[in-house]
Copies of this chain bind each other. A is one copy, B any other.
Amino acid sequence: MSNVPNNIPEKTIERLSEYRRTLLSCHEQGITHIFSHILAGIHGITAVQVRRDLMLIGFSSDTKKGYDVEVLIDFISEILDNPNVVNIGVIGIGNLGQALTKYFNGRRSKLSIVASFDVDPDKVGKIIDGIPCYDMSEFENKVAEHDIKIVILSSPTDVASELVLPIINAGIKGVLNFTSKPLNFPRGIFVENYDITTVLEKVAYFVKENEENS
């Protein structure tokens, strides 16, 4: 698609991903059309927000039946997806790494976890959840061999900083960092620091607030 607008805000990209998952689930259930306020309700936001997001990517729907589910899935996919499958590596294949691998590789997706990296001799050299586990010392070679563009960091937090240079040197373009250590990378490498603690502390805070106000 040549007329994809640039500079779509990060939050809109996140919501598009969420809308698509809901639309895929509607599609599976045989639902062909959906109104913006229904889609909004499912995601706990306003219909105005949904329409604004879709307007931002150039999607308009004038049908009285609401958005055509299949057409909208394809439209969002053209924005979000790479034309080819994107290969992903997981650094640290403990419980979290394994959960992520099972989760992503179990769904039809343009994102494919193809290799993991660890330093545990019980794991290195094995096939774990269907993908090979390599020693971290082989990282650069194996990234090239498997054409890995994105890494998921699910290593212990205390080694996160040491992984920055190998990631840069291997030519990785995107990092999803699940450790508690926020990492900075040079321009050209997109990093999302995604500490699960934050979101649990947030839930706990709003539970406390609700209790105090009730």
Contact = CB atoms under 8 A, between A and B. Distances in A.
B201 A80 contact: yes
A150 B204 contact: yes
Nearest to A20: B201
Given A6-B209, A18-B182, A173-B210, A204 B110 contact: yes
B104 A95 contact: no
Contact of A202 (B10, B41, B203, B205): B10
A17 interface: yes
Interface stretch (A67-75, A130-138, A186-194): A186-194
Q: List the number of copies, as a whole number.
A: 2
Interface residues of A, number: 69
A82 to B, nearest CB: 5
Contact of A200 (B22, B152, B184): B152
A14 B202 contact: yes
A interface: dominant SS: helix
B104 A94 contact: no
A13 B75 CA distance: 34
A50 interface: no
Contacts of A86: 204, 207
Given A110-B204, A111-B200, 7 more contacts: A6-B209, A17-B202, A21-B198, A44-B182, A95-B102, A99-B99, A100-B196
Interface of A: 6, 10, 13-14, 17-18, 21-22, 25, 41-44, 79-82, 86, 88, 94-96, 98-100, 102-104, 107, 109-111, 149-150, 152, 154, 173-176, 180-182, 184, 188, 190-211, 213-214
20 contacts: A10-B202, A13-B205, A41-B184, A43-B193, A44-B184, A82-B204, A95-B96, A95-B102, A104-B200, A109-B197, A111-B200, A111-B204, A173-B210, A174-B203, A174-B204, A174-B206, A175-B203, A176-B199, A188-B210, A190-B210
